[in-house]
Structure 1
Amino acid sequence: MILKGRSIAKGSGRGELLVSPAPISFLSGVNPDTGIVVEKGHPLEGKTVAGRVLAFPYGKGSTVGSYIIYALQQNGTAPAAIINVEAEPIIAVGAIIAGIPMIDRLPLDLADLQDGTEVTVEGDSGELICGDTE
């Protein structure tokens, strides 16, 4: 299945989906050394974003969050790709400077995406590819 959204950051990323119903603040919400979500009470608290396709509604918090996304990439703990309902500048800038593929505006709710599903995000075309297409 291929879903068409909007391209935000170029590239291709593949991994297991990690879906959050809540926005994420990367500043103080995600440990850049480990990739673990540390925000108290967050639905993903204790889970790692490293190597996963991270799907969440939108970012929240300080513009320093863009730098934290870049630090995640430099530390090898970044998501393989990012999916947002609606991209906003903090997350978009972070994904672009870190070279993390990012898309938004998919024609379905995030709740319809299943944690653990292997997917590919094609940032160049804005596509989410679920499962094998061969």
Structure 2
Amino acid sequence: MESVERRFRCRRIVAGGGEGEAIVSPEAMCFYLCDPETGTVIEKGHPLQGRSIAGKILVLKSGKGSSVVQVDGFYQLSVKGTLPKAIIVADTEPVLVSSSVVVDEPMVDRMEVDPFEAIADGDWVRVDADREEIVVRKSS
């Protein structure tokens, strides 16, 4: 069976891009509650608890936490090389955006469809923030 790629428009927040396996969180996330060594979410009760975001395309509801906590979490992940390859965010908020800017983490929002309907865990996703495009290939 041939895989089908779907293309979606989005809005660039932070330039760049990446591609890889999607990891999806319909809930907000605090990056300070990720283990910087592994990128594993350690927040108790979070849908991604125990899973690593490192090297993935993170589809995220939004960020949560104070600016100091969020920026420090992003910075620690950046230093250890365990950030996602790119982030697709549903609800943009200033702390998440400023954290991404500080570490130059590619980020987009305003996907032309609901990202939680178009992308599932394990799908292959390419984010090109510069071209304001997301390509999704469903997992088998």
TM-score (norm 1): 0.90
Alpha carbons 1:8, 1:103 under 8 Å: kept = yes
Equivalent in the alignment of 1:26: 31
Tell me the amino acid that sits aligned with residue 127 of structure 2: V
In the TM superposition, structure 1's runs of 4+ consecutive aligned residues that sit over 6 Å from their partners are: none
Equivalent in the alignment of 1:46: 50
Alpha carbons 1:21, 1:110 under 8 Å: kept = no
If each structure's strand is expressed as a fraction of its own residues, which one has the higher value?
2
- Number of residue equivalences: 130
User: How far off is 1:67 after superposition?
Assistant: 2.6
Q: CA RMSD in A?
A: 1.2
Alpha carbons 1:10, 1:96 under 8 Å: kept = no
Equivalent in the alignment of 2:128: 122
**SS in structure 2 at match of 1:79:** coil
- The answer to whether structure 1 residue 15 and structure 2 residue 20 are counterparts is yes
User: How far off is 1:46 after superposition?
Assistant: 0.1
Alpha carbons 1:13, 1:100 under 8 Å: kept = no
For residues 14-71 of structure 1, the C-alpha deviation after alignment (integer angstroms, 9 at most, x for no partner) is 11100011100112x2122220000000000000000000011110111121231122
**SS in structure 1 at match of 2:31:** coil
**SS in structure 1 at match of 2:71:** helix
Distance across 1 between alignment mates of 2:9 and 2:102: 23
With 101-110 and 5-14 compared, the bigger mean Cα shift is at 101-110
With 12-21 and 104-113 compared, the bigger mean Cα shift is at 104-113
Gap runs ≥5 in structure 1? none
- The answer to whether structure 1 residue 84 and structure 2 residue 89 are counterparts is yes
**SS in structure 2 at match of 1:42:** coil
- The answer to whether structure 1 residue 102 and structure 2 residue 107 are counterparts is yes
User: How far off is 1:94 after superposition?
Assistant: 1.8
Distance across 2 between alignment mates of 1:82 and 1:65: 15
Percent sequence identity over aligned pairs = 38
